[in-house]
Amino acid sequence: MKVAILSREPKLYSTRRLVEAAEQRGHEPVVIDHLHCNLVLEKGQPGIIYQGSRLEGFDAIIPRIGASVTFYGCAVVRQFEMMKVRTAIDSQSIVRSRDKLRSMQILSRAGVGMPKTAFTNYSDDVPAMIEQVGGAPVIIKLLEGTQGLGVVLAESAKAAQSVIEAFHNLKARIIVQEFIAESKGADLRAFVVDGEVVGAMKRQGKEGEFRSNLHRGGSGKLVKLSRAEKAAALLAAKSLGLGIAGVDMLQSTRGPLVLEVNSSPGLEGIERATGLDIAGKVIEYTEQLTLKKKSTAAKKA
């Protein structure tokens, strides 16, 4: 199998592990910087030019699309889809997951537990919105934020109103969520591959930090999920159409509450916390996609 790993940085842990796992299984991995791809559109012959040559002969791709380049990255994934190349994560699912408001709407419709969340485009409604999520303290999030950036804890209603109004004055889109005090600065990351939780860790924020992101100095350790937590993670990934996902949840008195579903979850934290070969699971899933494609083609023939 010739597989393209769409990544801007070959030296990143996740990229290196995917390359290693693919090679160990006898495949030919090629790291491609999706921002350097030129897309060629013509009748019946969509193509991609990379480093002066047309990309051909790929059986599958594994997108590692950063949040800051979602638009162009998804355009490249979509081009591969038009070229009939299987993708471990399809373009539309990436788009859904990257829009926090849209993804929360989809999760809500699917019946996934989540913190109470509110969104408004009108600053005069701020006091009511704060009350609608249970009152202060509240969490305020930029819709485009990642890795804990653009996330603010407002301890009082007055502080929340000031922060929200400041964001609105900057024309920044935000959501407001209830603060789950009992989580105590910790969350769960469930790594889902092909409808199965293949690894899970508990992430704890450093002292005095309400965000548990490893990029913010948090720590991760192996954890065994409850049946309800596994079910919530699987339903969240399925609702967004993600074959590979990192589902972040809070433990609360009313059960697991999904915070976010990541379509390009990092491998370093989860592999080090669990000691599991998560990259190998991703490659195995990609293999199954190509086998399904060949089986479908054979039936049509």
Does residue 227 sit in the same domain as residue 175?
A: no
Number of domains the chain is built from:
3
Does residue 193 sit in the same domain as residue 158?
A: no
pLDDT the model gives residue 297:
56
Does residue 143 sit in the same domain as residue 191?
A: no
Contact indicator for 50, 66 with CB cutoff of 8 Å: no
Asked whether residue 127 is assigned to any structural domain, the reply reads: yes
Classified as helix, coil or strand, 233 is helix
Q: Which two tokens stand for residue 223?
A: 């954890």
Does residue 14 sit in the same domain as residue 33?
A: yes
Does residue 154 sit in the same domain as residue 189?
A: no
pLDDT tens per residue, range 106-124: 999 999 999 999 987 766 6
Q: What is the pTM of this model?
A: 0.89
| CATH code assigned at 161 | 3.30.1490.20
pLDDT the model gives residue 150:
79
Provide the CB-side half-sphere exposure for 276 (13 A, CA).
18
pLDDT the model gives residue 301:
46
Does residue 173 sit in the same domain as residue 187?
A: no
Three-class DSSP labels, 61-88: EEECCCHHHHHHHHHHHHHHHHCCCEEC
pLDDT under 50 in the chain at which residues?
A: 301
Asked whether residue 108 is assigned to any structural domain, the reply reads: no
Pick from 217, 201, 194: which is nearest to 281 by CA? 194
Asked whether residue 29 is assigned to any structural domain, the reply reads: yes
Asked whether residue 109 is assigned to any structural domain, the reply reads: no
Listed in sequence order, the residues at least 6 apart from 178 whose beta carbon sits closer than 8 Å to its beta carbon are 115, 116, 117, 133, 134, 138, 139
Does residue 66 sit in the same domain as residue 8?
A: yes
Does residue 227 sit in the same domain as residue 200?
A: yes
| Interatomic CA distance for residues 72 and 7, integer angstroms | 13
pLDDT the model gives residue 146:
60
Contact indicator for 118, 176 with CB cutoff of 8 Å: yes
Asked whether residue 280 is assigned to any structural domain, the reply reads: no
Contact indicator for 291, 299 with CB cutoff of 8 Å: no
Beta-bridge mates of residue 257: 250
Contact indicator for 88, 61 with CB cutoff of 8 Å: yes
Does residue 166 sit in the same domain as residue 194?
A: no
pLDDT tens per residue, range 74-107: 999 999 999 999 999 999 999 999 988 999 999 9
Q: How far is CA 204 from CA 5, 143, 185, 209, 250, in A?
A: 30, 23, 6, 9, 11
| CATH code assigned at 217 | 3.30.470.20
Listed in sequence order, the residues at least 6 apart from 110 whose beta carbon sits closer than 8 Å to its beta carbon are 235, 236, 238, 239
pLDDT tens per residue, range 273-297: 999 999 999 999 999 998 876 655 5
Does residue 133 sit in the same domain as residue 175?
A: yes
Q: How far, rounded to the nearest angstrom, does the alpha carbon of residue 15 sit from its chain's CA centroid?
A: 16
Does residue 67 sit in the same domain as residue 8?
A: yes
Q: Which domain holds residue 256?
A: 182-263
Provide the CB-side half-sphere exposure for 142 (13 A, CA).
14
| CATH code assigned at 37 | 3.40.50.20
Q: Which two tokens stand for residue 170?
A: 């900057």
Beta strands in the chain, from DSSP E residues, in sequence order:
2-6, 28-32, 37-40, 47-50, 53-54, 60-63, 86-87, 117-118, 138-142, 151-154, 174-178, 186-193, 196-204, 219-222, 244-252, 255-262
Asked whether residue 121 is assigned to any structural domain, the reply reads: yes
Asked whether residue 236 is assigned to any structural domain, the reply reads: yes
pLDDT the model gives residue 126:
81
Asked whether residue 103 is assigned to any structural domain, the reply reads: no
**Domain boundary residue, one of 179, 195, 219:** 179
Does residue 209 sit in the same domain as residue 167?
A: no
**Domain boundary residue, one of 43, 70, 89:** 89
